[in-house]
Structure 1
Amino acid sequence: MSETVHIIPVGFDYERLLLPISQGGLEADRILLLQSSEDSGESAEAVIETMVDRLEHTFRTVLGKEVEIQPVKDIYDYKSLYREAHRQIREEVDSGNDVWVNISSMPRTVAFAFATAANSLIVERPELRESIHTYYVSPEEYLVTEMIGELREQKQMLQELGEDYNDDRIQDRLQAVDTLLEEVDQSGVTKGASRLGNGQMFVEFPAAPLSDLREFEREILYCLYENGPASSTSALARLLAEQREEKYQSLRSKVQYNVRQLEDEGYIRRTEKSGGHETRLSTIGELWVETHFRRN
């Protein structure tokens, strides 16, 4: 019997993860809550833990839904997130289930990984278009703006109290609030840019592949994955000819044509190097191999 399954990455939100199902008309038989398991700081972890607990209780006890909580180890490792998203969605639809992915919460790395994986599966298998759904829920209010307003009110009140009472505690609180408001005015509601596991300050979100692949195109991608970048298209053709036990000359033009096609579709990148064009997998090309040849 088919089910309607919602995959919901949980961040600092509660109502916009709950209301589309409890009041918004979306059907759900089973809920998969994704919870970050990495060290995000005591305050952040406490908020996320509270949201997960409340969502589980409401979905399970109040709405009578089946709920599973799954930890997410590294919320910034896009490749790992994409592979896991692709596996989860693929296994559900292969079991005959409909999948709905709520990308409203958690960091954008998680949201983009699941959205791209969902789109990739639909592009490859158009018959799944009615079985895979990605959705976003806009908040009615942003509480952070109200919190900033309250801080400004607190600052004014502490200033007035400081004029009437000589109390170091008032001055300490006033300085703390004033410093925080100055940082908000200078930097917004976030501060700085941290370096991630890849050593960089950014994560690239590769576009979903344009189409499904022919057998020979798949063979080229797998060859590059197993052997690493080729110094040129000719070098790649020689390697493939050796693996297929065919003559290089008879395979060369076929490899060149398919490499150009794969480059146009975003699976391969070619860069000029030492008089030739080094041929390597793009990020989405690498992920395609890992989600098709190496089932997790």
Structure 2
Amino acid sequence: MSESVHFIPVGFDFDRLILPISKGELNADRVVLITHEGEPTDKPTDRAAELATDMYEQLSRSFELMGVEPQEKGIEIDSLYDYEEIYAKAYEYIFDELEAGNEVYVNISSMPRTVAFAFATAADSLATEDRIDDARNRVHTYYVGPENYLVVDMIEALEKAEAQLEGSDQFNDLYADISDILERLNESGVTEGTKHEDPMHIEFPSSPGSDLDDFEETILEFLNGKDTIESTSELAERLASEIEEEYDDSFRSRVQYNVGKLEGKGYVNREKDGNRLETSLSTMGRMWAKTH
């Protein structure tokens, strides 16, 4: 018997993760709550992890009371911003549920965004591929908008407290703390700085497509886990050896043609170095290789 299964990355939200199910808008037999594993190494992350853990426990209890089975899938806290790794996990989780004949829903309302986007991209990949029968109609990604942003109420409360504490000798330290927080909020918004410095950004590439022929797939599988290969000739020679094909001009031309197609589709990167073309998997290529 098939089930309706929701994958829900857990951040600091409650209502947006539970109300569509508790109010009967969406059916759910089981929810898979995506949480963090391990201990953070810096204080701000430690507090954020504590808040996320509290929210997970509150959601888990609430779903149980509703008669919806909660399950937990953990992602190492140091990997929460490793998009490719999370994508591979998400693809595997969703693939297994679809293969079991279940209907899959992905709630991308909460944080961190790398987790939500990776699950959304994995769902999109499986919906567009032909690996699972009727996947397009059985996988759904949804977002729930908030009615209120509590940070606005928080700022207003802090402003009132600041006005009342100003000039008070008894609460000098508290007044200074509130004034500092308000100044930082006015300057930076609700976040400060960037999580990573080199590079600062995390690429969210398009979902890998499935329009590959067998030889293109063979090339991608060969390139997986390898560093940049310095020339097309070296790539063809090493590939021929691995798949036990004769290496000659015809085979080299075949490799060159198919690598060019893969570059056009976004699966490989090629950089010119003198007369040679260096070849490596692109982000999309690595994502495909990790999930096929």
Moved more, 17-26 or 87-96: 17-26
Matched, 1:266 2:269: no
Contact kept in structure 2, 1:5 and 1:98, CA below 8 Å? yes
Residue of structure 2 equivalent to 1:176:
177
SS of the residue corresponding to residue 134 of structure 1 reads strand
For residues 255-284 of structure 1, give each alpha carbon's deviation from its aligned partner in whole angstroms, at most 9, with x where no partner exists: 122111111111111111233211110112
Q: Please point out which of 129, 137, 141 is paired with 1:130.
A: 137
Residue in 2 that maps onto 1:139: 146
Deviations 1:155-190 (A, max 9, x none): 11112xx2xx5x2x3221111111111111111111
Q: Does 1:59 align with 2:58?
A: no
Unaligned runs of 5+ in 2: none
Task: Answer yes or no: is 1:90 the counterpart of 2:95.
Answer: yes
Is 1:253 aligned with 2:258? no
| C-alpha deviation, 1:57, in angstroms | 1.3
- 1:48 counterpart residue number: 52
Question: Does the Cα contact within 8 Å between 1:241 and 1:248 map onto a contact in 2?
Answer: no
Partner deviation per Cα, 1:162-220 (whole Å, 9 max, x = no partner): 2xx5x2x3221111111111111111111111227xx5322221211233321100111
Superposed structure 1 runs of 4+ greater than 4 Å apart: none
Superposition pairs of residues 1-296 of structure 1, within 5 angstroms: 1-23=1-23, 25-37=25-37, 38-39=39-40, 41-61=45-65, 63-73=66-76, 74-125=79-130, 127-159=134-166, 162=167, 167=169, 169-195=170-196, 199-225=198-224, 227-243=226-242, 244-292=244-292
Match of 2:73, SS state, is: strand
After superposition, the CA RMSD in angstroms is 1.7
Task: Return the offset for 1:42.
Answer: 4.3
Give distance in 2, aligned partners of 1:273 and 1:177: 57
Asked if the contact 1:7–1:101 (Cα under 8 Å) also holds between the matched residues in 2, the reply is yes
Instruction: State, as a whole percentage, how many aligned pairs show the same letter.
Output: 46
Distance of 1:258 and 1:64 partners within structure 2 = 52
What per-residue deviation string (whole Å, max 9, x for no partner) do you get for residues 28-82 of structure 1? Answer: 0011111122426443233222211221111111x10111122221211212211
Structure 1 residue 226: Cα displacement: 5.0
Number of residues of Structure 1 aligned to a counterpart in Structure 2: 283
- TM-score calculated relative to the size of structure 2: 0.91
Shift of 1:290: 1.8
Paired residues of 1:90 and 1:121 also in contact (CA < 8 A): yes
**In 2, Cα distance between the equivalents of 1:45 and 1:226?**
32
Kindly indicate whether the alpha-carbon contact (under 8 Å) linking 2:81 and 2:114 is maintained by their aligned counterparts in 1. yes
Question: Counterpart of 2:70 in structure 1: which amino acid?
Answer: V
- Distance, in Å, in 2 between the alignment partners of 1:153 and 1:247 is 77
> Do the aligned partners of 2:236 and 2:247 also contact (CA within 8 Å) in 1?
no
Q: Which amino acid aligns with 1:265?
A: K
Q: Residues of 2 paired with 1:14 and 1:286: CA distance?
A: 34
Amino acid at match of 2:160: E
What is the alpha-carbon distance in structure 2 between the residues aligned to residue 177 and residue 111 of structure 1? Answer: 32
Give distance in 2, aligned partners of 1:13 and 1:223. Answer: 42
Normalising by structure 1, report the TM-score. 0.90
Contact 1:209-1:265 at 8 Å conserved across structures: no
Q: Structure 1 residues 248-257 or 105-114, which shifts more?
A: 248-257
Question: Is the 1:229–1:278 Cα contact (8 Å) retained in structure 2?
Answer: yes
Q: Is the 8 A contact 2:5 2:105 kept in 1?
A: yes
Find the aligned partners of 1:287 and 1:4 in 2 and give their Cα distance. 26
Residue identity in the other structure for 2:58 = R
